[in-house]
Structure 1
Amino acid sequence: HAVEIDDRNAALAASKFARTPWRDRLHVHAMDIRRLRSAEPFDRIVSNPPFHDGTQRPLHDRRAVAKHGPDLSFPALIEVCDRLLSPTGRISLVLPLLRVKEIVSLAASNGLHPVRTFELCYVKDRPPKRALLELGRHPGLVDTGRLVVRGDSPLGYSPEVHRLLKDLLPAPTGSGRDLPLSE
């Protein structure tokens, strides 16, 4: 299941899902995640949530919904994930690096603990701006590291990202425009 609040992005995701080997198992819900109900809890929740506090909204409304979160705050997101997550499930989030401590604190108040934290660098020689945070219900050792996104592969990915995504990446066409990467 995928949940996307923006109808146009939900339709785009559905179109992309239809071209994958998993098309029979993927479904997009065009709705607010807070309205999602499921008879069975989820083992994995992956989110790239709105991450700005809503004080500096971009001019484009769709971009505002995607990046600014006055309607879906981090506390609301953590509460929803806690409700939908199975006892052994994991939550994976893409976040601004500077907000990771805030999310870890919010998660702890819901009985969720960091499992992995990776700083995400788009380019090798630039400082990280984002983080990949994985949360689970059981405290333990936290795996940490740094992941560089861009590299010299035909698709523009670093070897680390290519290894992580090898089953999901299309065969390169050689056009240099296979999968655009952006910061």
Structure 2
Amino acid sequence: MRKPFRFKQFEILQDKTAMKVGTDGVLLGAWTCYENVKSVLDIGTGTGLISLMIAQRNSSATILSLEIEKNAFDQALENFENSIWKKRLEIKNTALQDFKTKKKFDLIISNPPFYTTTFKNEDEKRALARHSESLPYSVLLKNCAELLSENGICSFIIPYSEETNFIKIAKNYKLYPKRITQVKGNKKTPLKRSLLEFSFQELKIEISELIIEIERHKYTEDYINIVKDFYLKM
């Protein structure tokens, strides 16, 4: 029997793909701004989690998702078809590098692959999904700049250790940080992730910190406020 991961307004089947529902994807989908957004591009959608989260938060936007790995593509398509927002969701089985369109998007969102070690995971599907060689930051950001509407934003979650380099690469394509939230597991652990929002406008950057847990399975109020519309037990 297939057991989905249940959220408040949708379910995620994840038995066909190596990439399961995780904190990174949920955080990005919940943190990202969606006001004044009519068109969304989700790069590397995996199970379709982030696209479904944006569909829940924005009642009118059309969302196009890209997924290179065939099993993940099939899984996301199934998850979209099972959702109440299926008419606003579309998915293509393609790499970003091969995606061609004249359309511009108000929001581009991606939880990009980020393993930088030379040792790929034994599970090739997981390696393809997470290993940064499959989508280098420079390729990701160049394409985002070409596909983003004039007043649009793009949002990412990356390792905190990559933040400075990522911002530097983005600047090459005239994408400037607008909002940054640096994430740590608890008060005593080092910063682990960076949530980044970019636009074509150079503005004063809004920087904040998010701590996920007070102690094991006891979550901070800030974290609960971000994800409570999605997780069943929040």
Question: Does 1:50 pair with 2:108?
Answer: no
Question: Does 1:61 pair with 2:124?
Answer: yes
SS in 2 for 1:118: strand
Instruction: Name the residue aligned to 1:129.
Output: 192
Shift of 1:150: 4.6
CA RMSD of aligned residues (A): 2.3
What is the one-letter code of the residue matched to 1:59? E
The normalised TM-score by structure 1 is 0.82
Instruction: Name the residue aligned to 1:181.
Output: none
What is the one-letter code of the residue matched to 1:143? E
Query: What CA distance in whole angstroms lies between the structure 1 residues aligned with 2:223 and 2:82?
Result: 22
Would you identify which runs of 4 or more consecutive aligned residues in structure 1 move more than 4 Å? Answer: 155-158
Instruction: Name the residue aligned to 1:164.
Output: 226
8 Å Cα contact 2:156/2:196 also seen in 1 = yes
Instruction: Name the residue aligned to 1:141.
Output: 204
8 Å Cα contact 2:113/2:134 also seen in 1 = no
Instruction: Name the residue aligned to 1:107.
Output: 170
SS in 1 for 2:164: helix
Shift of 1:54: 5.3
Instruction: Name the residue aligned to 2:42.
Output: none
8 Å Cα contact 1:54/1:70 also seen in 2 = no
Instruction: Name the residue aligned to 1:79.
Output: 142
Shift of 1:156: 7.4
Query: What CA distance in whole angstroms lies between the structure 1 residues aligned with 2:117 and 2:96?
Result: 18
The percentage of counterpart residues that share the same residue type is: 26
What is the one-letter code of the residue matched to 2:132? G
What is the CA deviation profile of residues 25-59 of structure 1, one whole-angstrom value per residue up to 9, with x for unaligned ones? 01121210111222320111111111123522111
What is the correspondence of 1:83-98 to structure 2 with a 5 Å cutoff? 83-98=146-161
Unmatched 5+ stretches in structure 1: 173-177, 179-183
Instruction: Name the residue aligned to 2:85.
Output: 22
The normalised TM-score by structure 2 is 0.65
1 or 2 for the larger relative contact order (CA 8 Å, sep ≥6)? Answer: 2
Shift of 1:113: 0.2
8 Å Cα contact 1:116/1:143 also seen in 2 = yes
Shift of 1:145: 0.9
* CA gap 1:17/1:111 in 2 versus in 1, 3 angstroms: same
- Range 97-106 or range 123-132, more displaced: 123-132
SS in 1 for 2:197: strand
* CA gap 1:21/1:161 in 2 versus in 1, 3 angstroms: farther
Shift of 1:159: 3.5
Shift of 1:17: 2.2
